[in-house]
């Protein structure tokens, strides 16, 4: 001791000091529960008809692996460049981020990957090819999807298309300013690289009977679409200047001229009606009125397309419906309409419109386009005994796509699928699974259930091909309440910018929007929560009080001898990958 304090020569002689390891204390034996790491399903994926593994694609992109992110999309969707432009993006309506600030721009992300990523599509073609030959009748989104997935399963696939070029409604029913033909051609070329043969100018039922096709192929998938415009049921629909919407768009997309005049009325509120009106505007019509019998909120068309319509100076007459067509010298000169009021909801969930007595008014026109829906041209399938409805819709099992004839399947608009591109792609994918199960003698309903995503009918093709190498719980969907939002800063959504000003847009068919800039895309990728997908953020590893989480090269393992089940890892996990389950600790 000296005047400055106490000198301790050996602290071990005064204070108890452990020189051993805490590993002798098996704290895990105290536990009645333990954590497990298991990737789950994001709500956006459950909402996607195609079943895209969106959160995993965002994770790969966040690591700079854009090509791998695109490959993940292509596991389920052969047309990401198409969907990245024209999909109605139900995924975004279920995005967990919308409860935090704004939904992630998933459609813009898919477009960015398709436009900028590269995938060696040859990797998807199996080394061993099957002997069975499958015919696909129709090359729209359902037919292309079925062909793509069947080719990946090793089948010899031939598409028979009546029109001059492949694409169906994607090519002949959607204007160039929404879906450039070069993008569609690029997507189709990938499908052909898998060995799919496409024969155009072949009309099954005319150039080739369905019976002959059945003899040449061991299975058939009918993807005939709905190319016949529905009529209003009014006298005078045979007048000069009256046309249905789908015929109008197809004629324009075939490169033919249609002269309708300056004043045009378009009847309907779906995307076909909006496309007809905006196309007519680009072809010189000055006074265009879209007439729709409900309110804007009930319009089936995409909201952004209705916005574009209004920016281009096209009028919308809401709560109105045509009553009769007025003619002059055998040509339409006006549409007499009635005001409508809304009543109780109908079978679609939308309020039913009823006419307001004495509310007639006249819209003067040079031409009228009726775009109230389409129907298939399916009469030719009856030669095989295939059942069709009174509306010419092919009758199928919605769970199997099977028709009433053995070995013949159907999907897309021609079989009553929702009239959206993504739903048609999904039905083609399901058709491919059904054809595979048909030849393998498997129960397609059981296979669908095994690989079903959440509680929807969509399924994971990647999981179907490789369930053991794809460890994810497809049935557990991560709700917003399970996201640890403390880990995520707020951020502004990055939208796809307009590439053509409205005043210029009405003069050109150039694409109206551009992709998100490469410099801004990482910020939108960062906004994604990656719900249910482990991003190896290490929070569980760093915050475990028992140091019982071991970090490996391909993930994390739990030393159950030491984990006492406190749940700290599950609570702090940003994405609900970790959950606590009942079970004793330790290795007993």
Range of the domain at 260: 228-374
H or E stretch at 522: helix 521-527
User: Is 406 found in the same domain as 349?
Assistant: no
Assess if residue 577 is contained within a domain.
yes
Assess if residue 240 is contained within a domain.
yes
Instruction: Report pLDDT for 587.
Output: 43
Cα dihedral 488, 489, 492, 494 sign = negative
What band does 4 get if pLDDT is binned at 50, 70 and 90? low
Count of domains in the chain? 4
Instruction: Report pLDDT for 124.
Output: 80
What band does 33 get if pLDDT is binned at 50, 70 and 90? confident
User: Is 144 found in the same domain as 103?
Assistant: no
User: Is 507 found in the same domain as 399?
Assistant: no
Q: What is the dihedral of CA 169, 171, 172, 174, to 10 degrees?
A: 80
Assess if residue 472 is contained within a domain.
no
Asked if residues 287 and 261 have their Cβ atoms less than 8 Å apart, the reply is: no
Asked if residues 454 and 464 have their Cβ atoms less than 8 Å apart, the reply is: no
User: Is 160 found in the same domain as 23?
Assistant: no
Assess if residue 576 is contained within a domain.
yes
User: Is 358 found in the same domain as 308?
Assistant: yes
Taking 60 as the threshold, does the pLDDT of residue 1 lie above it?
Answer: no
Residue 31 vs residue 362, higher pLDDT: 362
User: Is 440 found in the same domain as 317?
Assistant: no
**What CATH number has the domain bearing residue 357?**
3.50.50.60
Instruction: Report pLDDT for 588.
Output: 34
**Last residue of a domain, which of 359, 374, 389?**
374
Helix (H, G, I), strand (E, B) or coil at 194: coil
d(CA 310, CA 544): 56
Assess if residue 14 is contained within a domain.
no
Assess if residue 467 is contained within a domain.
no
The DSSP output letter for 442 is: -
Q: What is the chain's mean pLDDT, rounded?
A: 93
User: Is 369 found in the same domain as 235?
Assistant: yes
Q: What is the mean pLDDT of residues 290-308?
A: 96
User: Is 205 found in the same domain as 163?
Assistant: yes
Range from 240-244, 369-373, 500-504, 570-574 carrying the lowest mean pLDDT: 500-504
User: Is 367 found in the same domain as 494?
Assistant: no
- Half-sphere exposure of 495 toward its Cβ, with a 13 Å CA cutoff? 6
Q: How far apart, in Å, are the Cα atoms of 100 and each of 40, 489, 495?
A: 20, 10, 17
User: Is 368 found in the same domain as 243?
Assistant: yes
pLDDT digits (tens, 9 = 90+) for 314-359: 999 999 999 999 999 999 999 999 999 999 988 888 899 999 999 9
What band does 203 get if pLDDT is binned at 50, 70 and 90? very high
Please state, as a whole number, how many other Cβ atoms lie within 10 Å of the Cβ of residue 351. 16
Which among 374, 413, 412, 419 is positioned nearest to 245, based on CA atoms?
A: 374
pLDDT digits (tens, 9 = 90+) for 500-531: 998 899 999 999 999 999 999 999 999 999 99
pLDDT digits (tens, 9 = 90+) for 409-452: 999 999 998 889 999 999 999 999 999 999 999 999 999 999 99
User: Is 33 found in the same domain as 82?
Assistant: no
Assess if residue 191 is contained within a domain.
yes
**Last residue of a domain, which of 357, 374, 391?**
374
Instruction: Report pLDDT for 120.
Output: 86
């Amino acid at each position: 001791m000296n005047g400055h304090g106490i000198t301790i020569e050996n602290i071990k002689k005064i204070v108890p000091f452990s020189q051993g390891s805490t590993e002798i204390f098996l704290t895990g034996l105290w536990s009645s529960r333990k954590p497990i790491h298991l990737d789950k399903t994001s709500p956006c994926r459950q909402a996607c008809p195609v079943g895209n593994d969106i959160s995993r694609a965002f994770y790969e992109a966040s690591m700079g692996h854009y090509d791998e992110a695109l490959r993940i999309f292509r596991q389920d969707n052969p047309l990401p460049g198409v969907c990245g432009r024209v999909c109605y993006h139900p995924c975004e309506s279920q995005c967990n981020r919308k409860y935090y600030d704004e939904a992630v721009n998933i459609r813009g992300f898919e477009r960015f990957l398709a436009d900028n990523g590269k995938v060696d599509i040859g990797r998807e073609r199996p080394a061993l090819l099957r002997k069975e030959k499958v015919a696909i009748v129709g090359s729209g989104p359902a037919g292309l999807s079925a062909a793509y997935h069947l080719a990946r399963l090793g089948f010899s696939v031939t598409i028979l298309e009546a029109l001059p070029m492949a694409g169906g409604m994607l090519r002949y029913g959607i204007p160039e300013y929404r879906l450039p033909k070069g993008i569609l051609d690029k997507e189709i070329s990938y499908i052909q690289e898998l060995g799919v043969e496409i024969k155009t100018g072949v009309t099954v039922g005319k150039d080739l009977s369905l019976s002959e096709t059945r003899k040449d192929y061991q299975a058939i998938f009918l993807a005939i679409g709905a190319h016949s415009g529905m009529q209003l049921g009014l006298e005078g629909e045979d007048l000069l200047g009256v046309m249905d919407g789908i015929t109008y768009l197809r004629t324009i997309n075939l490169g033919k001229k249609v002269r309708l005049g300056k004043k045009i009325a378009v009847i309907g509120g779906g995307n076909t009606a909006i496309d007809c009106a905006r196309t007519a505007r680009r072809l010189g019509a000055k006074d265009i009125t879209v007439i729709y019998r409900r309110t804007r909120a009930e319009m089936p068309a995409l909201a952004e397309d209705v916005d574009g319509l209004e920016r281009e100076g096209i009028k919308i007459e809401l709560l109105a419906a045509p009553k009769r067509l007025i003619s002059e010298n055998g040509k339409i000169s006006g549409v007499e309409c009635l005001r409508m009021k809304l009543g109780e909801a109908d079978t679609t969930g939308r309020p039913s419109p009823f006419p307001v007595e004495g509310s007639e008014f006249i819209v003067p026109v040079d031409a009228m386009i009726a775009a109230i829906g389409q129907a298939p041209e399916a009469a030719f399938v009856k030669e095989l005994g295939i059942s069709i409805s009174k509306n010419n819709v092919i009758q199928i099992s919605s769970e199997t796509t099977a028709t009433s004839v053995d070995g013949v399947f159907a999907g897309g608009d021609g079989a009553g699928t929702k009239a959206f591109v993504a739903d048609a792609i999904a039905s083609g994918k399901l058709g491919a699974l059904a054809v595979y199960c048909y030849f393998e003698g498997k129960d397609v309903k059981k296979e669908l259930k095994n690989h079903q995503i959440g509680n929807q009918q969509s399924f994971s093709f990647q999981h179907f091909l490789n369930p053991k190498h794809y460890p994810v719980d497809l049935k557990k969907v991560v709700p917003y309440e399970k996201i640890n939002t403390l880990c995520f800063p707020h951020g502004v959504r990055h939208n796809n910018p307009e590439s053509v000003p409205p005043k210029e847009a009405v003069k050109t068919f150039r694409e109206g929007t551009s992709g998100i800039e490469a410099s801004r895309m990482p910020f939108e990728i960062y906004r994604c929560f990656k719900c249910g997908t482990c991003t190896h953020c290490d929070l569980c590893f760093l915050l475990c009080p028992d140091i019982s989480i071991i970090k490996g090269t391909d993930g994390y393992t739990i030393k159950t001898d030491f984990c006492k089940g406190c749940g700290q890892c599950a609570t702090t996990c940003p994405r609900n990958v970790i959950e606590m389950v009942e079970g004793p600790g330790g290795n007993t």
